[in-house]
Every structure is written in C-alpha cells, then in structure tokens.
C-alpha cells in the first residue's frame, strides 16, 4: 500500500476511503489489527472501503490477499478522530439579527465548523481544541442547538449547547390623575409596562422626564434631578407591571401646562418595535383645587 485518502476520519467510522498500491485485487482491508473494513472493492492498484469504527488515534491500514499482508509504513497510517463535544455556549441568548460573538467550550473543537440550527453557519469562527469564538448568524426567534462539525463528526445536541434567539416588545403606557388639595395637591402618574413578547423580558429601564420645576417621589423608582428611573424585570411574555410617581403641585406650577414622558431607555433581550416605547401625559394646575390632566 502506498497511500490512503483521506487519511483521517471519524471514530464512528462509516466514511469511504480510497487505498492505492499494488497487487490489491481480492484484498481484505483492516484498520488496525483485526478491524475489518466493509464494502471493500479492489482492482490491482486501488481499493475503496468503508472504514469501521475505531478508537481515537493512529492505526495502520493493511491489505491481505493470498499473497500475504502488506507491510506497515507512514504511507498507510490512518487517524481516527473523536467527534467534538460542546459543553457550554456563552452568552446563550442573542438578537434575531445575529452579529454578536459567543464563546463555545467543549472538546476536540479544533478546525470546527459551527452551526446555529441546521445549516445556519456561524462566521469568523476561531477554534482551539477546547474552545471556539464565533459570530452568530441571523435566525428566527426561538431556541435551537449549536453544533460543531469536524472530520471527527458532529457534536451531539443537549441542553448545554442550546442557544435562544430572543426579542421582547416592551410597551409603555401612562395615566395621570390630579389630586387637588389646599396644602398637599399633587399629580399621581402610573406607568404600565407590558411585555408583548414573544420572549421573556430579562430586564428593562423606563425613564420619566420631568419638566422644570417639577420634582417627584416614588416608592418603586429612583428619583433624580429632572427624571425618575424605573427598573423592571424579569417579566413574562404577556405580563404587565406598574410603577408609580407622585409630583407635588404648588404656587410655582399654577397656570402652566406640564408634560411628563416615560420612555423605555434600555431592555434585554432586544426590542424590535420602537413605536410603543414611550407615553406622555399633560396636566395643567389651574389652582390648588383644580388640576386638569389629559
């Protein structure tokens, strides 16, 4: 035997190789001692054969005919390559548009092609034996498996290599209610934040801007100079949560219309619909006993 092509394949076997040499007609082909190939077809100078399963590492491929068994040499070495495994993907969620970079850990990953679901190849893949970095391709919202393919085969699917394309449409609504009073008149704002899905909201920030000279208090948001910041999450698809703001009114606010706007300023996963990210309400303090809101 003078050559074998390819000279490496999966430990699971099942791949076809071509063997060249002399006096091969009628040969039995072995991959290591006693490990017979199947579907062997030989002419005098070449054979095709299906490699059997084997243990990871190098073996000699030999041909046996009535004339004897071929000698071992570097020309008939064959390498069984173990299938890769993936034990983690980080981060394991991202936007449907892709473009984010993930780190994949596992074993026997060198030279791997990485897919996110069937046939959806990652780009800019760089692998060592135990880890890969890859840029996620675009995909449909939902959960799939990340797999690595090398000459040794394709990694198995498991919960450890799941990846979720996620998006959560956050809707912001707001009501304003004037509460008159001679000494402690105020306006109560209620912000309703709804996750319209399809994915669960991990976290979000909704910021309400206040016109000068308004100040505010809140039991569930953080107040600052000219704004109120409300944190939300996690929030299931279809669920809503409210946040409350109270703005006191006084002599300086009489007769002037004021508008408060609440806006989603950050959220995860990505929000693909910016059209419902904010809401505004205007109130006019006619007097401490008359507060008109719309």
pLDDT digits (tens, 9 = 90+) for 88-98: 999 999 999 99
The reply to whether 202 and 107 lie within a common domain is no
In the chain, the largest separation of any two C-alpha atoms, in whole Å, equals 115
CATH code of 46's domain = 2.60.40.10
Q: Domain boundary at 31, 62, 81, which?
A: 81
The reply to whether 119 and 186 lie within a common domain is no
The reply to whether 211 and 269 lie within a common domain is yes
The reply to whether 118 and 138 lie within a common domain is yes
The reply to whether 197 and 274 lie within a common domain is yes
Query: By C-alpha distance, which of 250, 161, 234 is closest to 200?
Result: 234
CATH code of 184's domain = 2.60.40.1460
CA gap 103, 132 in Å, rounded: 6
Which residues span the domain enclosing 18?
Answer: 3-81
Q: Domain boundary at 66, 81, 96, which?
A: 81
Kindly report the length of the chain: 294
Question: What is the DSSP annotation of 135-170?
Answer: EPPP--SEEEEEEEEETTEEPPP-GGGEEEE--EEE
The reply to whether 183 and 231 lie within a common domain is yes
What band does 251 get if pLDDT is binned at 50, 70 and 90? low
Is the backbone peptide bond immediately before 198 cis, with ω within 30 degrees of 0? Answer: yes
Looking at residue 253, its pLDDT comes to: 64
Residue 183 pLDDT exceeds 90: no
Mean pLDDT, residues 255-268 taken together: 90
Q: What is the pTM of this model?
A: 0.80
**For residue range 56-106, what is the model confidence (pLDDT) as tens digits?**
999 999 999 999 999 999 999 999 999 999 999 999 999 999 999 999 999
Query: Do residues 243 and 193 touch, judged by C-beta distance below 8 A?
Result: yes
The reply to whether 107 and 66 lie within a common domain is no
Q: How many domains does the chain have?
A: 3
The reply to whether 180 and 280 lie within a common domain is yes
The reply to whether 21 and 132 lie within a common domain is no
88 vs 255 pLDDT, higher one = 88
The reply to whether 140 and 29 lie within a common domain is no
Looking at residue 4, its pLDDT comes to: 97
Q: Domain boundary at 142, 165, 188, which?
A: 165
The reply to whether 98 and 29 lie within a common domain is no
The reply to whether 288 and 212 lie within a common domain is yes
Mean pLDDT, residues 161-166 taken together: 97
């Amino acid at each position: 035997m003078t050559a074998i092509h390819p000279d490496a394949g999966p430990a699971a076997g099942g791949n076809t190789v071509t063997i060249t040499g002399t006096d091969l007609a009628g040969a039995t082909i072995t991959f290591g001692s006693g490990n017979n190939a199947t579907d062997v077809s030989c002419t005098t100078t070449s054979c095709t054969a299906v490699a059997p399963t084997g243990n990871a590492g190098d073996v000699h491929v030999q041909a046996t005919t009535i004339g004897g068994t071929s000698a071992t040499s570097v020309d008939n070495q064959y390498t069984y390559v173990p299938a890769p495994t993936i034990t983690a993907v980080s981060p394991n969620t991202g936007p449907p548009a892709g473009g984010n970079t993930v780190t994949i850990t596992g074993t026997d990953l060198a030279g791997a092609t990485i897919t996110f679901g069937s046939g959806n190849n990652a780009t800019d893949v760089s692998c060592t034996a135990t880890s890969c970095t890859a840029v996620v391709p675009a995909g449909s919202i939902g959960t799939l498996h990340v797999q690595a393919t090398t000459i040794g085969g394709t990694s198995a699917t498991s919960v450890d290599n799941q990846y979720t394309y996620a998006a959560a449409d956050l809707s912001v609504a707001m009501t304003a209610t004037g509460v008159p009073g001679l000494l402690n008149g105020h306006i109560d704002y209620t912000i309703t934040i709804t996750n319209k899905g399809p994915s669960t909201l991990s976290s979000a920030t909704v910021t309400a801007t206040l016109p000068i000279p308004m100040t505010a208090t809140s039991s569930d948001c953080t107040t600052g100079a000219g704004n109120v910041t409300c944190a939300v999450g996690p929030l299931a698809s279809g669920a809503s949560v409210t946040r409350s703001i109270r703005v006191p009114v006084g002599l300086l606010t009489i007769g002037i219309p004021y508008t408060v706007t609440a806006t989603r300023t950050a959220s995860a996963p990505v929000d693909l619909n910016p059209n419902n990210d904010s809401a505004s309400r205007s109130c006019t303090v006619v007097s401490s006993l008359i507060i008109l809101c719309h």
